[in-house]
Amino acid sequence: MIGLVEIPLLVLAWLVLLVGLIQNLIYASYLIPAWRELRDRANAHDDEATWQALRRGDQPPITLIVPAYNEDKSIVANAHSLLSLRYSGFQVIIVNDGSTDETMTRLADALELVEIPRAPIPGLVHAEIRAIHRSAIYPNLCVVDKENGGKADAINAGLACTRTELFCVIDADSILQPEALVRAVQPFQDPSENVVAVGGTVGVANGCLVKHGQIDQYDLPQEFIARVQAVEYTRAFLLARLALSRTNTLTLVSGAFGVFSTRVVIGIGGFDVTTVGEDMELIMRLHHRLRQDGIPYSMRYLPEPVCWTEVPSTLRGLSRQRIRWQRGAMESLSRHRGMILNPRYGRIGLVALPSMIVIDVLGPVVEVLGYFLVPALALWGILDLDFLLAYLALTFGFGIFLSTASIVLEQGSIERPTTARQLLSLAWTAVLENFGYRQLNNFWRLTGLIKHFSSTPAQWGDVGRTGFREEDAS
């Protein structure tokens, strides 16, 4: 006989199970659209189109904006890597965001910088620009030296100096594949779609061998913490974003690599400097403003091109990153809550944002609650133990299936030589992440949720990167 005290606990337990079921159904709904998008891209002979575009050299002008803060160990090598990209005409703007190390000195010495007069575009929020320099060696490279203001602030300063119709944001510690830009701009060349933003896959570079600023040899990270992120990134990009791209409901273009329409982004005021999730907030604001103004548009995610980045390899660094990501998602949802369940905003308001609420708001709360409540009720005999074990087996099994399906999709879309050993390692990691790592990640997300609703000031924090594994090719 269940007493009055047990009834609320039982209701909470069923709520936990229900939210978990809805999350799984949301992820399951991504499978078919993601598969269809990959199939259509394969039928369109995307690789041939890329190489034909390279031969013609008719890509639209683009500016690469590289925000840099205390990157003196790698900034010169990264600049040379970007300058070697295969593209007919592009500019590189490195924004020194008030670095306190030798970043500016090393750029000045290696690139022979000369100060030039240039008037930034007004109307964008950014800290004071001290000077603008051009390289005497590379005419298509500029360096903006400014007071410290954060990543979004630095991007806005670079955007204020941009004169091309497209711009690309890339992290200073990331590596682009040589043909990445050519692939990324192709959707913009179709006037019927009015593409305003394109994102590409971000791959985990930990474990890879870097030579001449490019990935020379692909390998998986040795550390479990980094390797499990490789599984996460595959699931996030090759499953969720591919499906959302097909329905034009993308809510995020990764801050590590994204291409945008300069006119459109400047028209909405550039990046928001008051949030730690400036990449998601920009995409949400683009949806908000363009649908509000009745302007047809599309945002695309492409499985290729690939941007390689180093992910945190310690629990301390990873926790800071995930707490920050959660806060950024919550800030974006809060600032654009008027779109939620509002028919005026179509599928982004009726489907995408409610799904975010289930996954990003309810998800961490009910999952952490469930870790304690559901087993306790089962032990007390309020929940049937056999049912609970069957449900957990189904939930974990489905999570493993989704991760494995993402890995399979990746093999059909990313040009990456993967060995049987690496595939087995990824599959085994997809199993292990459900036992400890997933639970820890939910605690971090819950922490970010709590901090969002508290008065704790948002900070970026150091995630403890150690640098790429490089080989001297000389």
| Per-residue pLDDT reduced to its tens digit, 25-39 | 898 899 888 888 877
Q: Please say if the pLDDT value at position 46 is more than 60.
A: no
Q: Please say if the pLDDT value at position 393 is more than 80.
A: yes
Q: Please say if the pLDDT value at position 122 is more than 70.
A: yes
- Higher pLDDT, residue 472 or 273: 273
pLDDT of residue 160: 95
How many domains in the chain? 1
Rounded CA-CA distance 116/118 in Å is 6
- Higher pLDDT, residue 459 or 352: 352
Looking at the domain assignment, is residue 341 inside a domain?
no
Cβ atoms within 10 Å of 123's Cβ, excluding its own: 11
pLDDT of residue 413: 63
pLDDT of residue 272: 95
Looking at the domain assignment, is residue 358 inside a domain?
no
pLDDT of residue 473: 45
Q: What is the pLDDT of residues 184-198, one digit of tens each?
A: 998 998 888 899 999
pLDDT of residue 47: 56
Q: Provide, rounded to the nearest whole percent, the portion of the chain with pLDDT above 90.
A: 50
Q: What is the pLDDT of residues 133-171, one digit of tens each?
A: 999 999 999 999 999 999 999 999 999 999 999 999 999
Looking at the domain assignment, is residue 11 inside a domain?
no
- Higher pLDDT, residue 451 or 304: 451
Average pLDDT, stretch 396-412?
82
Looking at the domain assignment, is residue 142 inside a domain?
yes
The CATH number that applies at residue 200 is 3.90.550.10
Looking at the domain assignment, is residue 169 inside a domain?
yes
Give the strands of the sheet with 469-470, arranged side by side. Answer: 214-217, 209-211, 469-470
Looking at the domain assignment, is residue 175 inside a domain?
yes
pLDDT of residue 417: 60
Looking at the domain assignment, is residue 463 inside a domain?
no
Q: If you average pLDDT over every residue of the chain, what do you get?
A: 87
Please list the residues that pair with 96 across neighbouring strands: 68, 145
Looking at the domain assignment, is residue 218 inside a domain?
yes
Average pLDDT, stretch 38-49?
63
pLDDT of residue 284: 97
* Residue that is written with structure tokens 């449900």 in the block: 391
Confidence of residue 210 (pLDDT cuts 50, 70, 90): confident
Q: Please say if the pLDDT value at position 414 is more than 80.
A: no
pLDDT of residue 219: 86
Domain that holds residue 240: 59-314
Average pLDDT, stretch 337-366?
94
Q: pTM (2 decimals)?
A: 0.90
pLDDT of residue 54: 55
Confidence of residue 50 (pLDDT cuts 50, 70, 90): low
Cis ω on the peptide bond leading into residue 305 (within 30° of 0)?
yes
Q: Please say if the pLDDT value at position 1 is more than 50.
A: no
